[in-house]
Chain A
Amino acid sequence: MFKSLPFIGYWQKTTLSLWLIAAQCFYFADTEIISLDPWNEFRLMVEGFIRPDFFATEYLLEAMWQTVSFALLGVVFGLLWGAPLSLVYSNRFVATLCALTRSIHEIFWALLFLQIFGLSPITGILAIGLPYGATFARVFHDILLQSPKTTVQTLPYGTDKVSRYFYGRISHVLVPIMAYIRYRFECALRSSAVLGFIGMPTLGFYLETAFRQGHYHEGAALLMLFIALIGTISLWCRPRLIAVYFVAALFTLPSIPPVDGALLWRFITQDILPPALQNLSTWSQIDLGVMKSLSNWSLDLLVEQAFPGMIVTLLLALVSLAMAHGIAVAGSGLASSLLTGRFISKVTHACLLVIRSVPEYIFAFIFMMLLGPSMLPAMLALALHNGALIAYLTVRQSDTTQVGPHYNGRIDGYCYDVLPQIYPNLMGLLFYRFEVILRETAIFGILGIASLGFYIDSGFSEIRYSTALFLMGCTALLNIVVDIISRRLLTANTGTQISCARDSATRADR
């Protein structure tokens, strides 16, 4: 549609398309503002943040430690199974399996494992470790692909395979891999806290209760502690200390409640089956009637829950993506010392840190109070969190950008000189985050926004495991289809440009 406008470049086209699509989605989405007098509650919240109560929470230190310990053990478990798989990631089956695992949010994994292991640390560690391992597999594979192969060719004849591999390949990429693991550890801390929302003994457990029940003094204190925990990661997470932390985490795990084998067996063979297949003892009992009720069951689920949920999920994710774009561009501008000078850029930096550390759930909660229960609060929450994250990562690049001698330090100069240099990276990050945004819509389902997460949560709370699993499958498929389409679109249109952007995106992520 931009053929007749040759002066509009590639990135302008991409940006305009993104905004056009998002505007259409916004039109169809439910964005009504319904709230008559939220100010009373808002005042209480502000009061809570002015006078946070750090002593209201029981077992606070334990909760903070468990947040770290679940994150650490989850990442280690993820590495244990993800790292070896990265070597065979080019296998199509492995790649699909990893994509499926990755596409399901930690919360859903946790809800599923909760049924099997109960409120056990295994639930939390698996819920973090499974999707993280799948991500490690893919990212390590990508990083390995970029490593130079020349060293391997210079090794003496007869060098054994293992040495060739470690010396020739791994040693080249050890630094980026370590940096990436570190970045994922920060993500895992957030995930670990979020798992508290559904019952793991981490900070989120108390954070959610405090906000839900209106104990804002307590909630504010917990939120501040959590942000401080993430903000000071580089201080307390020294490479040498990790081994110590790991051992301590293993020893201080909450006791693992016993798992009853017979019940687990019943869960696998009965509870998770669709109603029509339950109570069948042999395959031969499956006849036309069973098949018919099975297809009715899945059709009903598709029409009543899966499709509406998917539509809401997609609308939510697309609008959030465009909003995150706006926030990222504005935020990276404000935080760039080239544009705003040292002081403002420092302040913006601090704001970006705070915004990206706050779980989206809390944002959505606050906005829901102010704007009412439509999709708007969720959109803003996703956009703020992801926009701030992208801005933060982009600014690291823009601070090292070289500017020409004509650079005037004003907004026009910034747009002419700096923005074009950082824009491909920013867009790369943005599209890379789309997958994440799509997954994160899950959390809002638990807050009551009718995304797929809402129906999955209902399935679990009505103890209809088959429904929940069916919908989890739909979620995974949706994520994979979106991933494939977006990749096709991007590579077909741009070829090298995007792969550069994605390359720098992964690099910036570190």
Chain B
Amino acid sequence: MRLLHMVCLALLSTLSTSALSAVFTFTAIPDENESQLRTRFEKVALYLEKELGVEVKYVPVKSYSAAVTAFRNNQVQLAWFGGLSGVQARRLVPGSSAVAQGNEDQFFKSYFIAHKSADLIPSDSFPNLNGLTFTFGSKSSTSGRLMPQFFIERNLGKKSEDVFTRIGFSGDHSRTITQVQAGAYQVGAVNYKVWETAVENGTVDLEKVNVIWQSPAYPDYQWTVREGVDKKFGAGFKAKIEAALLGMKDPDLLKSFPRHSFVPAENADYEPIESVAKAIGLID
């Protein structure tokens, strides 16, 4: 058994020899408008390259879980994560830290939106959702799944499966809006920024679907740096990343995320997210 382990380890270690090339890689998925992802974020890569003085590459990913995997496997050293995916990533790679968040992310919120046929009136108190149909966004979204599910379960005192007659995962905030507007689900939970952009752009028919409740504030998206970047790229590299992110002022770059500006963040800011994820059983 011992020998087998050694042989396997030796084989595996040959795989990691190429890990020494010093390209700094990052990934990001914006919470709205994923079109032209590479074109937009390659501009961010250029900015970082200028600020950090090393070659910077952007890797496009499809989902939060793919971003977490890439982070875990050291294929990206910096990632723009959602609240939950950031927590998952930092648990998988101890020593990694949140360095910056969007100005808006300090007090992020979710909107519950309802189709008019559900007869729910906008209110400050939690709506009675019993017996309705409901759609979350993507399975590992903080504003589209984690926090909404937590607020539902805390306010109604039972598991979300027992509250609704049908639960869906639309996969995306804009899909949630579309599906509730089409009446496929009566109620849905959506990232407030995506909703407000959609209202601004006039893609929502407010006669058919509207906000019925907004959640209390919670922390969301953040930049997380992988442990060991100082060792690989030289001492003080992490601080340089942090400075570069906080110093990103070009509205054209910030528009890709889309955020007003970036402000400092630390792991402790996301403790509420971690305990909520534990409470509803998404992480152990």
Q: What residues make up the interface of A, taking CB atoms closer than 8 Å to B?
A: 34-38, 40-41, 56, 58-59, 114-115, 117-120, 197-199, 201, 205, 208-210, 212-215, 218, 257-265, 275, 368-369, 372-373, 447-448, 457-458, 460-463
Contact = CB atoms under 8 A, between A and B. Distances in A.
A34 B183 contact: yes
6 contacts: A40-B181, A41-B178, A58-B37, A209-B62, A213-B34, A461-B63
Contacts of B133: 34
A41 B70 contact: no
A258 B61 contact: no
Nearest to B61: A199
Interface in B69-101: 69-70, 72-75, 88, 92
A275 B70 contact: no
Contact of B35 (A209, A265, A275, A462): A209
A447 B12 contact: no
A117 B72 CA distance: 11
A213 B70 contact: no
Most buried by A among B13, B62, B63, B70: B62
Contact of A36 (B59, B66, B75, B117): B117
- For the complex of A and B, 10 pairs with smallest distance between CB atoms: A36-B183, A261-B12, A199-B62, A258-B19, A261-B16, A461-B65, A118-B75, A257-B75, A258-B18, A261-B13
B63 A198 contact: yes
B282 interface: yes
Given A36-B182, A369-B182, A373-B184, A462 B139 contact: yes
Contact of A205 (B62, B73, B74, B181): B62
Contacts of A201: 60
Given A56-B35, A373-B168, A261 B14 contact: yes
Nearest to A198: B62
B183 A35 contact: yes
B69 A462 contact: no
B64 interface: yes
Given A218-B35, A461-B139, A37 B183 contact: yes
Nearest to A256: B18
Contact of B174 (A117, A213, A261, A462): A213
A197 B139 contact: no
Contacts of B60: 201, 205
A372 B168 CA distance: 11
Question: How extensive is the interface on chain B, given as a class?
Answer: 35 or more
B19 A41 contact: no
B268 interface: no
A211 to B, nearest CB: 9
Given A214-B174, A447-B171, A461-B65, A119 B184 contact: no
Contacts of A260: 15-16, 19, 73-74
B227 to A, nearest CB: 12
B226 to A, nearest CB: 11
Contacts of A461: 63-65, 138-140
Residue among B33, B64, B182, B284 with max Cβ neighbours from chain A (10 Å): B182
A275 to B, nearest CB: 7
B66 A199 contact: yes
Contacts of B72: 263
A260 B15 CA distance: 7
Given A34-B133, A212-B172, A463 B88 contact: yes
A412 B185 CA distance: 46
B35 A215 contact: yes
Residue in A120, A218, A368 with the greatest tally of chain B CB atoms within 10 Å? A368
A218 B35 CA distance: 10
Given A119-B70, A198-B63, A448 B171 contact: yes
Nearest to B182: A38
A214 B178 contact: yes
Contacts of A275: 284
Given A213-B33, A258-B21, A119 B61 contact: yes
Given A218-B35, A258-B16, A461-B65, A265 B9 contact: yes
A212 B194 CA distance: 14
A259 B73 contact: yes
Contacts of A457: 139
A215 B32 CA distance: 12
Contacts of B166: 34, 373
B115 interface: yes
A372 B165 CA distance: 14
B259 interface: no
Given A261-B12, A265-B12, A458-B139, A197 B62 contact: yes
B126 interface: no
B67 to A, nearest CB: 10
A258 B168 contact: no
A38 B184 CA distance: 8
Contacts of B169: 448
Given A210-B35, A258-B21, A461-B65, A373 B139 contact: no
Nearest to A115: B69
B233 to A, nearest CB: 15
B39 interface: yes
